[in-house]
Structures are given as structure tokens and as C-alpha cells.
Structure 1
Amino acid sequence: MTSVRYREEDDRREVPVRPTDEDPVAASGSEIIGGPVGRRAATGGHRWWNPLRVMVLVVIGMFALGMAQKASCYSSAWFKAGDPQYIHACYSDIPHLYAQRGFASDLVPYFDRIPDTVSGSGTLHYLEYPVLTGLFMEVASWVTPHGSPQHSAQAYWIANSAMLMVCAVVLVVCLARTNKRRPWDGLFVALSPALALTATINWDLFAVALAAAGMMCWARSRPAAAGVLIGLATAAKLYPVLLLLALFVLCLRAGRLRSFGAALGAAIAAWLVVNVPVMLLAPHGWAEFYTFSRTRPTDYGSLWLIIAERAGNPLDGVNAYATAVMLLLCAGVAALALYAPRRPRIGQLAFLVVAALVLSNKVYSPQYVLWLLPLAVLARPRWRDLLIWQGAEVLYFLGIWMRLAYVTGTKHHGLTADAYHLAIAVHLLGVLYLCAMVVRDILLPQHDVLRQDGSDDPAGGVLDGAQDVFVLGPAPHEPKHAAHAA
């Protein structure tokens, strides 16, 4: 009888999960397209309309809607002084930096110094982005035709948007393939309003796609490949290095440090391959990103901005404060992972460490929501909680532009400082809410959606079903999946 029960549990684990079967919000939302589990929801390979193809089409459609939302800026507002681009909430760094970072003048990133008359700033002398993002920006400039300043900037934004759309497709595909039993989890990313609104503000989506590909490789027990992709993601944006911290703590608990070592070594090698040539040949240009990050003052979107403006103090020690809070939060996440009654899933811990950076950082640009988006889906694939968080992020998206409209315009439109502080608080509370739900799932695994069928960590790769060897708390309960595998 025991073997029959285990076979039944295994069969349930092999059947793909449809969100309308287990998620009340998804089931209610499906009424718009005909109700739960319609004919086109089949996941068999003999049908063209499988989950992956559906989600690719959905994310392309949502990305196109996001581009359409920028239409008023594309046509004129980016090129007008004052606040029109903020009033219409369609600002993007991309067309502005085309000229201001020397791409319009064919300057080579990191090697050619940007004249102050071009950059508009006396503090930035070279491109202030990591090397792989700089390469992304340069490639887009190669396919941008030269013309009038406005037409060239428009073409540059279109070229970058096309490349970022590919990144969005890669992101959804990788997320859908990270947990083979839950291919539809990628649908939330595909339908994400935050993705549509922020994808073409900056170049963060490139690093997010690389990091998602790394998570997919880890889920398939390919730690070296995962490390290469995480290393490349870190060469495009610094935050993905935190994924290695999450992997280290989990591998320490599960006794899989050899796999972590393979991922870490591959990540370091990939990062060095990208960075060392520029580091040696253009050391001042290479260092600009790190210098800028260190010297950047308290900026929009952060808790520190509220404190500074409320106190009337520029908060000169913000680097030390932010670093201290970040270290404390990461130590708390590590303690949670080692003391929890059951080892957390990789998606849960990865989400918490990146959320710690978002909460403690001295700046929060609206596109940073993309860092958390795939990790939130892996950590807590419940549409209600994800929508609450996304709602808070959309409110902040509107709040930052209305604040900038107030600051740069005639003050007849936009948000005062007090109202903007409220928008920041809404964003912080949204992130904290989702963190609280993830922590609850870790401490009370019976609430974890992914573990209710007896699974351990479907995206954990070598961690899935592994027994713990290093635990600081009481002896953990052995997961059913691990016991059966043994």
C-alpha cells in the first residue's frame, strides 16, 4: 500500500499544474477568456497552443502595449524642456543617454572620455554602466542610423526596445522551464503590468533575463552553466551576485558545496572574461560604474530619501547606513535558511536576498521592480499576493513621475514631497508584504503552494530532495520527496 501511495504522489507531481486549478484569483480571471481549463489550456505536445507559445505571444503583446504607452514621449515629450514626459509617465533613459553618453558621437564606451558639454554633468567622465550593459548599448548604437538628433534618438530607443523584447521573451521562457511541472507560472511575468511599464526605461531587463537563464540551468542540475550565466548577469548589473549568496547558504545546509563551488568558479570566470580586457585597457572608464555607485547620494525611491528630507539633512553617511542595513538583512535571511524547520526553496531565498537590497538601497529606480519579478513568481506563485505587490509598484511608478513633474515643472502638476513619501511607503510596504508571505511559507511549509503535493524544491536542481547536513535549529523533518527517493 505504501508503494502505491508513493506512486500516486509521483503521478500527481508529474501532471502539469494549471493555475486555474489551484488559484482562486486565476480561476476568476479566466472567466474573461471563457472560464477555467478551456480547450486551449491543454499542455500535450501534440497541440500547437502549448503554454510556452501562449506565454511568448502574451509577453510580446504586453511589451508592445508598454511601447505604445511611451508614444506621446516618442513623438515629442522626450525632446521638450520641462515636465511633459513626466506628466505622461513615459520617461525613458534610453533616448536621452544616446546623446549624453556619446553614442550619437560614436564615442567608444569606457575608452573615450565624455566631454562635459555632451554629458551635461561635471561628475561623469565615462559611461557609468557595467561592461556587459555598455556592450548592449553600443550594439544598439551600431544599428541606429544617423540623422537629426530627434530621429536618431527615436531610432536608438526602437533598436534597444527590439533587443529588450528578446530579453523579455527569454525571461518568460526560462521561468516557464525552471519548474517543469508549473510551466504556466511564467504567465504572471508575461502579463505583468510592471514589466510592460518599465521594460524600456533602462537596460535592467538584459541582466534579469541572464539571471533567469542561470536559475533555469541550476534547476536542471547544471551548476557550472548556471554560474556562467549568473556571472554574465553580474557583468550587466550588480544585483545578480546575490543569487550566489542564496545558493551558498542552501548548499551549506544541504551539503552540496561542491556544486556551489562549480557555480561560483564559473561565475567568477565569466565575470572576469567580460571585465578584465576593459579593466586593463581602460581602467578609468571601467571604474566609473563603481565610483558612481559609491559616491551617488541619497536618491529617489529609497527609505533614506524620506529620512533625509524629513530631517532636513543630506544624510552624508548613507553608504554606511545602507550597507549596515543590507548586511543585517542578509544575515537574517541566512539565519532563517539555517534555522527553518525545513530547508527553504531556492526561489524563496533568492527573492528575499534581492528584496533586502531593494529595501536597503539608497536609490530605487522604477525599473528595479524587474529584479524581483521572476524571483517573486518562483517564491510565491499566488496571483493574489503577486497582484497586491504589483499594484503597489504601479502606484509607485506613477508617483515617481508625478514627483519629477512637480520638481521640473511649474508645480501646477505632480506630487509634493509629502505625497511622494507616501508613494515610496506604498512601494516599501508592497515588497515587505510579499517578503512576509514568503517568510511564513518558509517557517510553515504547509502554506507553501509548491510543497503541498509533497515536493521539496522543484527548481532546486541538486538541492531538490537533498537531506540536510548542517542545521542550526532543531532536527528538521525529512521531506517526503527525499524519503521516497532514498
Structure 2
Amino acid sequence: MRVGIRVVLLLAVLSSLVSFAKFNHCSAEGWQSPGQYVHACYSDIPALYGERELDQGRWAYSSAENAVEYPVVQGAIMWVTAKLIPQGVTNYFHINILLLALLFLFISFITFKIKPEFAYLLPLAPAAVASLYINWDLWAIATMLAAIYFFDKKLEIPSAILLGISISTKFLPIFLLIPIALIFFRREKIAKFARYFLITAATFIAINAPVFLTTPQGWWRFYSLNLNRGSDWGSIWYALSNLGLNLTHQNYLSVLCLLIGITALIIYLLQLTKPPTLAHTAIFIFIIVMAVSKVYSPQYVLWLTPLAVIALIDKKDLAVFFFWQGCELLYHFAIWQHLASVTGAKFGLPVVAYSVITLVRIAASILLLARLAARHQKSRVFPSEFLLSTGESYP
């Protein structure tokens, strides 16, 4: 079913309002625990406003021990909105989620530009709608999707700049350089990849250098936390540990599994008949990374959902898409109900049940990956589908 852009944007507005209603309970109650977990309306936005002393006007990276745990663009957004908004956590929360709602409209628009026949699925995806206002990730997702859109239209310089901005907002998009490199390799344009990489790196350096040079320890805190953290909520390693399989050297195992997954992806992309588009392959690298990482935050579904939508081939894929969304929604409530039990709620989800649901979510994402990979391999027209719609073709 294909609908117009106005319908997609209207659905996005309605979804933003539904998500606001879900999160507004916590706003009204002051984000008290365990209530914020029982009602599944926890958000990092009010939590970090006080914990990182943004309410006192402190620069996001001024403290080595208490700097925000995000790259610099996201940290700057957190700080600027705190400086500009009248004092008070409720005002801070509402202005930030208003900006996030506008970003969701933009993301819906870009999704329509890339995949108009399935764009309506994004604002209808229940797990994504339930997660809209958990934190600031939509800022990075918006620039990442714009980078994908421009890349597949062969506007490589703006794509590289946008990817550098996205990596400076949330580090995850750096993994897109892997399929991008393979696409250039398949096109036999290695020099163009070198230029793309250098522009992306230069953008990242230009954005990060002022913060690194002035508050290096605060800048480094995000990277240090990610390098040194153990297995955490939502990861396969945390779930297996809770189920009695205590694997040692989990950092090495995570890296090893990531390398295996990336190798399998490289082999898959290299054996395709034609060079793939980034729009159709970005979902693969993100599912691999998130399946083996040491943490899976509830808002990560916001990264996967638009990428899954633009990777769909036809309506035969809808069943697996909504099955995966259902498993993500199940996990969304499982993590909050488990945290409710941890923070003293009378009722909650035991750790064993939470861990089983974690594994179900991971299995569903891998099923989605396998389904899309098989469909793309079988459909010989998919690599050029996007470019055909824009009147372009591969050389």
C-alpha cells in the first residue's frame, strides 16, 4: 500500500502525540521510581538534566567524572537547550521532546523519499512509537538517514558531511562506513571511497577538536565508558549470564562475534550480482552490531525501524516486519518491568523472564536480517530499485 507524503506526516504527528501521552504520566508524577518503570515512561532527558548538572548551567564536558555520556553534538544539544529554556526539569523535558517530535517528522519525510511505498510503516511501528522520547538519539538518526539518501543519489560530499555529523552525535553510524566501502569497491571507485572517508573524518575532527582541546577528559568519558563497560541491559551476554552461562572474556567475545558477523556481511555483499544500495543494506550492519554488543538500550529500535522499512522489498515482508516489531515491543515493556522490580515495585518481571525475552528479541532481529538478506539475494532488481525511481543508474 502506497500513501502520499501528507498521510505519512499526519501519521507521524499522531504517533508523536500518542508517544507524548505515554511519557506524560512520568512528567506529571515527577519521574519517581519505581513508577516511571511500571508505566514504561522513563526518559534520560529529565534524569540527566540534574545528574549531569545541566540545570546549573555546567558545560556538558567540563567534568572528567560527570561529563555527559554522549558524543559532542548530542552533548551540545543537551547543554544549549538547558541554557535557553527557563529553569525547571519539566520545561526542559517538554522542549526537548518537541524538538524530537519535529525530528521524527523529518525522519518520516526522508523515509518516504527513499521508500515511498512503505514509509507509512514507520509511524505505525509500535515499538518505535513507544520509544520516541527515551533520549536524544533521533538527532543522530535524522542526519544518518539524510546521509544514506544523498549517498544513494550519488551526492557523496553532502552525504559524507552528514555522516560525520551523525557520528559526532551518536557513534553508531560509523559502522555504515563498512557497507559504503564495499559499495565503492563493487563500483570499482576506491578513490571515491578515500575522498568520502576523508570528508567524513574531517567533519568529525572539525566538530570534536574544540571540545577535545578545551576539555579533553570530559570528551573522552563517552569513549572510555563504552570501551570499559561490562555486559549490560539488553545484551546477549547479560542475558546468558543471568541464565547461568557465565562466559569469560566477554569483551573479546563481543569483538570476535562482531568480526564474524562483519565478515559474513562482506561475503554476502560481494557475491550479489549488482552493487547494492546503502538504503537496502544499512539495516544488516546495524542488526549485527546490536546483536553482539555489550548493551542494547531500549531506544535502539529507533535506529533499526526506518532502516528496516527502507530495506523491505514488497508486501510479502510485512509479516516478518511486524513480528519483529512485536518482539521489540515485548522487550520494551520487559526491560521497564524488570527495572521496576529492581527499584522496589510490588510487581515486576524476574530476571530470568527478562533474559529470555532479551534472547527472543535478538532472535527476532536476526530472523529479520535473514529474511531481508534472502529476499534481496533472490530479487535481482533490488540493487538498482532506488536509483531507478530517481532516474539514475549505475555505471
Establish whether TM, by shorter chain, passes 0.5: yes
Q: Give the conservation status (yes or no) of the 8 Å contact 1:219–1:460.
A: no
Q: Give the conservation status (yes or no) of the 8 Å contact 1:218–1:459.
A: no
Tell me the distance in 2 between the aligned counterparts of 1:312 and 1:349.
33
Structure-1 residue corresponding to 2:67? 126
Structure-2 residue corresponding to 1:88? 39
1:140 and 2:61 are equivalent in the alignment:
no
Letter aligned with residue 433 of structure 1: L
Structure-1 residue corresponding to 2:321? 386
Q: Give the conservation status (yes or no) of the 8 Å contact 2:243–2:355.
A: no
Structure-1 residue corresponding to 2:377? 443
- CA shift, 1:219, in A, is 2.2
What 5-or-longer segments of structure 1 have no aligned partner?
1-18, 21-40, 42-50, 115-123, 147-151, 468-486
Tell me the distance in 2 between the aligned counterparts of 1:74 and 1:374.
28
Q: Give the conservation status (yes or no) of the 8 Å contact 1:342–1:445.
A: no
Q: Give the conservation status (yes or no) of the 8 Å contact 1:143–1:159.
A: no
Tell me the distance in 2 between the aligned counterparts of 1:312 and 1:342.
42
Tell me the distance in 1 between the aligned counterparts of 2:76 and 2:387.
31
Letter aligned with residue 64 of structure 1: L
Tell me the distance in 2 between the aligned counterparts of 1:205 and 1:352.
20
Q: Give the conservation status (yes or no) of the 8 Å contact 2:151–2:278.
A: no
**93, 97, 113: which one aligns with 1:177:** 113
1:319 and 2:256 are equivalent in the alignment:
no
- CA shift, 1:344, in A, is 3.4
> Which aligned pairs between 1:247-326 and structure 2 lie closer than 5 A?
247-311=180-244, 313=246, 317-326=249-258
- CA shift, 1:312, in A, is 6.8
SS in 2 for 1:458: helix
Structure possessing the higher radius of gyration over alpha carbons:
1
- CA shift, 1:77, in A, is 5.1
What 5-or-longer segments of structure 2 have no aligned partner?
none
Tell me the distance in 2 between the aligned counterparts of 1:435 and 1:292.
29
- CA shift, 1:457, in A, is 3.9
Letter aligned with residue 394 of structure 1: L
Asked which structure has the greater RCO (Cα within 8 Å, sep 6+), the reply is: 2
Q: Give the conservation status (yes or no) of the 8 Å contact 1:144–1:156.
A: yes
Percentage of matched positions with identical amino acids: 28
Letter aligned with residue 53 of structure 1: R
- CA shift, 1:207, in A, is 0.5
Tell me the distance in 2 between the aligned counterparts of 1:309 and 1:170.
40
**289, 292, 297: which one aligns with 1:360:** 292
Q: CA offsets, 1:230-260, max 9 Å, x none?
A: 1100001111111111111121012133332
Letter aligned with residue 393 of structure 1: E
**32, 53, 56: which one aligns with 1:102:** 53
Q: Give the conservation status (yes or no) of the 8 Å contact 1:346–1:457.
A: no
1:203 and 2:136 are equivalent in the alignment:
yes
**67, 71, 92: which one aligns with 2:20:** 67
Tell me the distance in 1 between the aligned counterparts of 2:209 and 2:165.
13
Tell me the distance in 2 between the aligned counterparts of 1:176 and 1:348.
14
Q: 1:461 to 1:101 in 2, by over 3 A?
A: farther
What TM-score does the superposition give when structure 2 sets the normalisation length?
A: 0.93
Q: Give the conservation status (yes or no) of the 8 Å contact 1:346–1:460.
A: no
Structure-2 residue corresponding to 1:246? 179
Instruction: Give the aligned CA root-mean-square deviation in angstroms.
Output: 2.2
Q: 1:349 to 1:198 in 2, by over 3 A?
A: same
SS in 2 for 1:404: helix
> Which aligned pairs between 1:397-476 and structure 2 lie closer than 5 A?
397-410=332-345, 412-445=346-379, 451=382, 456-458=384-386, 465-466=393-394
What TM-score does the superposition give when structure 1 sets the normalisation length?
A: 0.76
Q: Give the conservation status (yes or no) of the 8 Å contact 1:86–1:405.
A: yes
Structure-2 residue corresponding to 1:329? 261
Tell me the distance in 2 between the aligned counterparts of 1:390 and 1:196.
11
Count of residues paired in the alignment = 392
